[in-house]
Structure 1
Amino acid sequence: MDIPKLLMHYLELWLPTLFVLIFAMSLSWGISRFFNSPHRLFRNGRFHRQVILLLISIFSIFAFILALPLPDSVQNQLLGILGILLTAIIGLSSTTFAANAMAGFMLKLVRNFRKGDFIRVDNYFGRVTTRGLFHTEIQDTDSNLITLPNLYLITHPITTTQQTGTLISARVSLGYDVHYNEIVKALIKAAELTDLGDPFVQMTELGDFSVGYKVTGQLKNIKILITAESELRKHMFDCLHQADIEIVSPTFMNQRLLKEKILAEKESSQTATSEVSPESLMFQKADEAEVIDKLEGGFESLIEDLEKMKSELKSLPEDKKSEYEQKIALKQQQLDNLTDKIQKLNNKNQNS
Structure 2
Amino acid sequence: MTMVSIFNSLIENLTLHWINVFYIASIIIFSTILTIFLNIFYKNLKQKGKIQNFPVKKIWLNLGVAAAAIVLILTGLPGISNNIVRLIGVVIGAIVAFSSSTLIANFMSGILLKIIEPYKEGDMVKLKNIFGKVYHIGLLHTEVQTPFREIVNVPNLVTISDIITNYTKGGYLINVDVSIGYDISHNKVEDMLLHAMKLTGLSEPFVLVTDLGSYAVKYRAKGIIRDVTKIISTESRLRKKILDEFSINDIEILSPFYVNMKNVPYNKCIMAQNPGKAPAKIGEKKPEEVMYERADKEVTKKNKKRAEKNISHAFKKIIPE
Compute the TM-score of the two structures, normalised by the length of structure 2: 0.74
**1:244 partnered with 2:250:** yes
Q: Residue 28 of structure 1 is aligned with which of 34, 38, 52?
A: 38
Q: Secondary structure at the match of 2:223?
A: strand
Aligned CA distance change for structure 1 residues 130 and 223 (closer, same or farther; 3 Å): same
With over 3 angstroms needed to count, the CA separation of the structure-2 counterparts of 1:243 and 1:75, relative to structure 1, is farther
**How many Å separate the matches in 1 of 2:77 and 2:135?**
48
State whether residues 136 and 148 of structure 1, in contact with CA within 8 Å, keep that contact through their aligned partners in structure 2: yes
Counterpart amino acid of residue 31 in structure 2: L
8 Å contact from structure 2 (residues 35, 62) kept in 1: no
1:85-234 aligned within 5 A: 85-91=92-98, 94=101, 97-162=103-168, 165-234=171-240
140 and 65 in structure 1: CA distance in 2 versus 1, 3 angstrom threshold: same
Contact 1:116 1:286 in 2 (8 A): yes
**Cα distance in 1, alignment partners of residues 55 and 156 from structure 2:** 17
Measured in 1, the distance between the counterparts of 2:60 and 2:182 equals 65
Instruction: Note the alpha carbon deviations across 1:69-93, whole angstroms, 9 max, x for none.
Output: 2369745533443333332454367
SS in 2 for 1:287: helix
Partners of 2:264 and 2:63 lie apart in 1 by 81
Structure 2 unaligned blocks of 5 or more: 1-9
Question: Which residue does the alignment assign to 1:276?
Answer: 285
Higher-Rg member (1/2):
2
Report which structure shows greater RCO (CA 8 Å, sep ≥6): 1
Distance 1:97 1:113 in 2: 21
Q: Cα offset for 1:187?
A: 0.6
Calculate the aligned-residue CA RMSD, in Å. Answer: 4.1
* SS at 1:217 equivalent: strand
Identity, % of aligned positions: 26
Please name the residue that 2:89 is paired with.
82
Change (3 A) 1:136 1:248: same
User: Which letter maps to 1:286?
Assistant: A
Q: What SS does structure 1 have at the residue aligned with 2:168?
A: coil
Change (3 A) 1:293 1:26: same
Deviation at 1:119, TM superposition (A): 2.5
Does structure 2 retain, via aligned residues, the 8 Å contact 1:24–1:60?
Answer: no
Shift of 1:98: 4.9
Shift of 1:231: 0.4
CA contact (8 A) 2:253 2:271 kept: no
1:13 aligns with 2:55: no
Give the residue type in structure 2 aligned to 1:120.
K
Paired residues for 1:293-308 under 5 Å: 293-305=302-314, 307-308=316-317
What is the aligned length?
306
Local SS of the residue matching 2:182: coil
